[in-house]
Amino acid sequence: MPNGGDRRRRRWRVPGSSLWYTGTVANKNGVGILISNGLKYGVVDVMRRGDRIILIKLVVGDLVLNVSSAYAPQVGHNENIKREFSEGLTDMVRSVSIGKMLFTGGDLNGHVGISGTSFEGVHGGFDYGIKNQEGEDVLSFALAYDMIVANTLFKKRELHLVSYSSGQHSSQIDFILSRREDMRACLDCKVIPEESVVPQHKLVVVDFRFRIRVQLDKRAKVARTKRWKLKGEVAQAFKERVINEGPWEE
């Protein structure tokens, strides 16, 4: 996503799409959510927490989707900044009622590792690398709010797991989280190695399938008088009655 810009700017010009963004300092931090123009009028609410967290509420048919994007401070950042981010993300998740669909994606700057030991309900058992403290914090956060890390649900080759590459260093620090109750709707999650979102970061794609009920326009049906079915004396009687009663008034 582009960095910098006015955090209150509602949309940027992106062909075929609209971008909701939050950021305060040019070339520093900033996150956004890109929505197809076919869905943009379904955005009914936007919440921002500084320049690292944004959430939109999107209505599609009878579904209400809460989608957030987050950018966690790097390992060496000031502890106050880390705490501010953690509290902001917690507040954002708590603002979405239990049972409502919630999807959180972004650079969480942690390694959740291959093993899901002690996090079986959150970690699907498939991932890349060795878990560190920041990764454990991600898993603890997901566990606390009954979410899953979609990246860990599917067995993939390494090139479909690594989301960050810099020189000889490769890791997976970009994750997508969703409510655990929606886990069966998650069909796939993988890295597209040929696509770079920003320098060094690869595109992470997740597929969900939901049943959507669309409200159809039910037009009122007006009864028709089938005069051609009238025969003989009945037809003549109907004709005389219409003439005698004159025009109808509403």
Tell me the pLDDT tens digit for each residue of 3-59.
333 344 444 566 889 999 898 765 567 899 999 999 999 999 999 999 999 999 999
Asked whether residue 248 carries a pLDDT value surpassing 80, the answer given is no
Cβ atoms of 66 and 218 within 8 Å: the answer is no
Asked whether residue 1 carries a pLDDT value surpassing 60, the answer given is no
Asked whether residue 98 carries a pLDDT value surpassing 50, the answer given is yes
Token pair of 120 as six digits: 């079986």
What CATH number belongs to 13-208? 3.60.10.10
Asked whether residue 63 carries a pLDDT value surpassing 80, the answer given is yes
Backbone φ and ψ of 192, nearest 5° = -95, 100
187-227 pLDDT per residue, tens: 999 999 887 777 788 999 999 999 988 766 666 565 666 66
Q: Who has greater pLDDT, 250 or 50?
A: 50
Mean predicted confidence (pLDDT) in 155-184:
92
The pLDDT, as a whole number, for residue 59 is 95
Cβ atoms of 173 and 161 within 8 Å: the answer is no
The pLDDT, as a whole number, for residue 198 is 75
Q: Where are the domains of the chain?
A: 13-208
The pLDDT, as a whole number, for residue 212 is 87
Which of 92-101, 163-172, 189-198 is the most confident on average?
92-101
The pLDDT, as a whole number, for residue 2 is 35
Asked whether residue 64 carries a pLDDT value surpassing 60, the answer given is yes
